[in-house]
Amino acid sequence: MHTLPLLLHSVSYSGSWGQTALTVEQVANKAAAFCFDGVMLMAKRPHLSPLDWDAARRRQLRDHLAAAGLRHNVLAGYTNFTADLEHAEIPQREMQIYYVEALAQLGADLGAPAVRIFTGYEHPAASFSAQWRMIADALGECAHRAGRLGVTLLLQNHHDVAAGWESFRDLLAEVNHPSLKAGFDAWAPALHGDDLAAAATALAPWMAHTTVADYVRRPRHRYEPALVNYVPATPYVQAVPFGEGFIDYRAFFSAAVEGGYNGGVAYEMCSPLLGGGAEDNLDRYARAFVAWMRAR
């Protein structure tokens, strides 16, 4: 595993959960200082929205990444192809396809020829099969447009549709485009209670990237006075330093690498951390991830 390129996701220092907020350039400097191989750049404000980065700024950032020795860089797009289905007159899919194409151009300009995207959250305004078809069609068009720019799309198993690894594999096979690869994440199948080694073995031929973080489950209960007792509620999931949580990353990486995976591993701090969001705690988590990966 120590040979896999390691990336620091800039969302970790975006302020999105009240944590320390840094600029894209400052995140890149941290990544270099902590011995990452690259960065995963959050492709929305406050970091890398295509609305804000003209040709001159793109050249400057590309030069900054190169000077920092960060060679393995990708963009993190934020899509939901089932959004706003209750208003069919609004061309939401077209807007998101346009956004993905804009990110592909941004990635090409930065020398970061890969863009992470999502599927869609299930929406009550359409059947599951209709939403599946809509997503598959949108992914196919996005992949075609990105491919013309020499950019690969990395589909992450995050949103509701195709969150399960079997259906995720089905969706990739259905779209079947060379510019659409799996950015397969161990987090979802771990929460689903799946066998991570089996999932990684099945997805390894499709994988070009993975995004990781580690968590513990914390029980929740609600007091029921009539029973003088507590009723179990859905546990919450708390981010902890890498290697200290319930996700079996040893099994996941071993199976993926054995299956031929040699893509990047992006570390993200994308929820409140145990210990808080101060910069020194964020830095501690980032360093711990690199140390854990390099030691394996």
Calpha distance 151→108 (Å, rounded): 7
pLDDT at 1 (0 to 100): 54
| 50 band by pLDDT with thresholds 50, 70 and 90 | very high
Calpha distance 178→135 (Å, rounded): 17
Calpha distance 21→15 (Å, rounded): 4
Q: What is the Cα Rg of the chain in Å?
A: 19
Give 172's contacts (C-beta < 8 A, 6+ positions apart): 155, 180, 181, 182, 206
pLDDT at 19 (0 to 100): 97
| 183 band by pLDDT with thresholds 50, 70 and 90 | very high
pLDDT at 221 (0 to 100): 98
* CA end-to-end distance (rounded Å), the chain: 6
| Kind of pairing between the strands at 229-240 and 114-117 | unpaired
> What pTM does this model have?
0.97
**78-108 tens-digit pLDDT:** 999 999 999 999 999 999 999 999 999 999 9
| Residue range 193-200: mean pLDDT, rounded | 98
Whole-number average pLDDT of the chain:
97
What share of the chain in percent tops pLDDT 90?
A: 99
pLDDT at 2 over 80: no
pLDDT at 125 (0 to 100): 97
| 296 band by pLDDT with thresholds 50, 70 and 90 | confident
| 294 band by pLDDT with thresholds 50, 70 and 90 | very high
pLDDT at 202 over 90: yes
**115-169 tens-digit pLDDT:** 999 999 999 999 999 999 999 999 999 999 999 999 999 999 999 999 999 999 9
**163-174 tens-digit pLDDT:** 999 999 999 999
**216-253 tens-digit pLDDT:** 999 999 999 999 999 999 999 999 999 999 999 999 99
